[in-house]
Structure formats: structure tokens, C-alpha cells
Amino acid sequence: MIIADEVRSALEDGRGVVALESTIISHGLPTESSARVARQIEHAVRGSGAVPATIAVVDGQVRIGLDDAGLERIATDPVVVKSSIRDLGNVCAAGLTGATTVASTAYLAHRAGIRVFATGGLGGVHRGAAHSFDESADLPALASVPIALVCAGVKSILDVGATLERLETLSVELVGYGTSRFPGFYIQDSGYAVPWVARSADEVAAVLRARDGLGLPQALVVANPIADGKEMPRDLHDATLASGLEALAAQGITGKDVTPFLLAWFHEHTHGVSLQANIDLVLGNAQVAGEVACALTR
Ligand code: PSU
Ligand code: MN
């Protein structure tokens, strides 16, 4: 595991550090914009006074903090492997380049001593999971990694209600950031409530400290809705989701390809509307994560 110099010195000096995942860059956004967005996400973390650490596997080596060439490679190289926890052994042993998911990023960030992590939307229970058993490895990973994850809820392509039930079963603590409603990724309100509300970065930091004091091993999910005026129009969202799910079934897509397929479907079929929402929500999460990381140092 190679920790970038800037990240290592920030950790040693007790400054705020935010982990960032790389699958959103390689598989979640169109290639034309992904390098630019990856830089914007890091910029948003810096804007809050924290140091970004984008995590990926480059030529078989885990990197905690990517330089610009690494970021560009993850964004544009078509052979980059979507790497969840169970892929890490093979990707590293074969010297491959892999983009880490929420699950593997959380695991690696925690090993590096990072306390706060930002992504777009958490993975979860897929629609039809009662038959397919398709539940993201993000959920069990968060049950065993004590990190704060700032996200815009779970992706709306999922079964949100079932995902919330699983988060409860797995004892993953959940707070709404300035809201009592669980966000729906592209939209502010998924239709479900959250059990707890945090009104500021300092309140989130207080929850984290309390959890640390008790030695709780699970993650804290900080659900931060997309900003006012930035969410996708509801009817466009619902129609695109319906057609995307039909295409998914018709083409027989399964396993780790499901989420990238549906995200790409949205980006293509909304002519950039979902892409802009995805960018806006992840930048908002990066900013809040930076504020939480700094609040933890106070
Ligand atoms: N959030 C986004 N875009 C993404 C993802 C999250 O805005 O592409 C990625 C994350 O890496 C997450 C993964 O871990 O999607 C979930 O994939 P799966 O459903 O196969 O577990
Ligand atoms: Mn899956």
C-alpha cells in the first residue's frame, strides 16, 4: 500500500483527510468527463480545508492518494477493473489496474488511518433481489469498517426500502445531514425517513467520537441530499429508470455490470441531465466530507 506524501503528512500532522473512491470515475461517469470531474471532487475537498486521497490499484499496487497521471489513467484507461473487496487479491497479484468501489475504498482507507470518505451514492439492495440475491458488497463492508461515509443516500436504481432495512440489520448508523428524509441520489427525497439528523459537521464529528469511545466497528453513513434546485425532474427520473430496468432484463445483465449499466443508461438517455445531477451531488458530498474531516481535528 503506497500512501502519497501529502496524505501521509496530513495524517501524521492530524489534519483532515477525505478518502475518495475511484469506481465512480472509471465506471460511473462517461469517459469524456470523468477525469475533469475527478479533479473537481478533489478540489471540493480542498475547498473545505481537507486533503483528498483518491484510492485505486495502479499496476498491482494499492494507492492511497493518486497523482494527476494516476487519476487520468483511472478515468480513461478502458482496461481498469471495477474492484470490490473480493477482487483485490487477484487485481494486486496480477499487477492489474483497478478502480475501488465503496466497499474496497472503505476497507483500504480505514487501513491507512483515514476516518472520512465521500462518494456519490452508496450501493445497496437491487430491485428484484428476492430472486437475484443482488445486494452490493458495500453493505456488509460498512458493517465492519468504522469510517464516516458521506453520500447522497443510495442510488435510486435500487430498492431503497430494502436497503434501509439491511443497513438497520447490519447496525450501520445513519444520519441525515440537515434533513430527516433519506435522499434518493438524483432526487432530494427517496420517500423514506432517516432515524437521526445531524445539523452540522461538528454534530457528525461528535457522533463519530461517541462511536469511537464505544469501540463500535461499523460505519456511520451521513446522507447528504443533492442541493436545492439541482435535482433531476421527477418524471424524467422515473421514466428513465423504468426503461433502464427493462433494458437490463432484456439484455440479461447481471453481477458487477448492473450498476455501471444503469448509470450509463441514465447518462445517455437524459442527455446530460443525470450526469449534471451526479456531478453536483458528489461535489456536495466531497465538500461536506471535508468539513467533517476538519471538524474531527478540532
Ligand atoms: N456512486 C456514484 N457512482 C458510482 C458508484 C457510486 O455516484 O459509480 C459505484 C461505487 O463504487 C459503488 C458501486 O460501490 O457503484 C456499487 O456497485 P455494486 O452495485 O455492483 O456493488
Ligand atoms: Mn451486485
Distance CA 155, CA 170 (A): 19
Mutation to probe ligand 1, out of 74, 155, 254, 275 (largest number of atoms < 8 A from CB) = 155
Tell me the pairing of strands 187-193 and 181-184: antiparallel
- Residue 134 CA, ligand 2 centroid: distance in Å: 5
Give residue 87's pLDDT. Answer: 98
Torsion, CA 197, CA 199, CA 201, CA 205, rounded to 10: -50
Residue with cell 496480477: 94
What is the per-residue pLDDT across 205-218, written as a single tens digit (0 to 9) for each? 999 999 999 999 99
Please tell me the predicted confidence (pLDDT) of residue 68: 95
* Domain chopping of the chain, boundaries: 2-297
Give me 148's grid cell.
464516516
pLDDT for 31 equals 95
Question: Is 138 among the annotated ligand-binding positions?
Answer: yes
Question: What is the mean pLDDT of each successive set of 10 residues along the chain, which is 298 residues long?
Answer: 98 98 97 97 98 98 97 97 98 98 98 98 96 97 98 94 98 98 96 98 98 98 98 96 96 96 96 97 98 97
pLDDT of residue 181: 98
Rounding to the nearest 10 degrees, give the CA dihedral for residues 173, 284, 116, 15. -140
57 is in an annotated binding site: no
Can you give the pLDDT at residue 243?
97
- pTM exceeds cut of 0.95: yes
Question: Measuring CA to CA, how many Å separate 38 from each of 34, 35, 44, 215?
Answer: 6, 5, 10, 33
DSSP structure class, residue 147: -
**Contact (CB, 8 A) for 114 and 161:** no
Could you name the CATH architecture of 2-297? 3-Layer(aba) Sandwich (3.40)
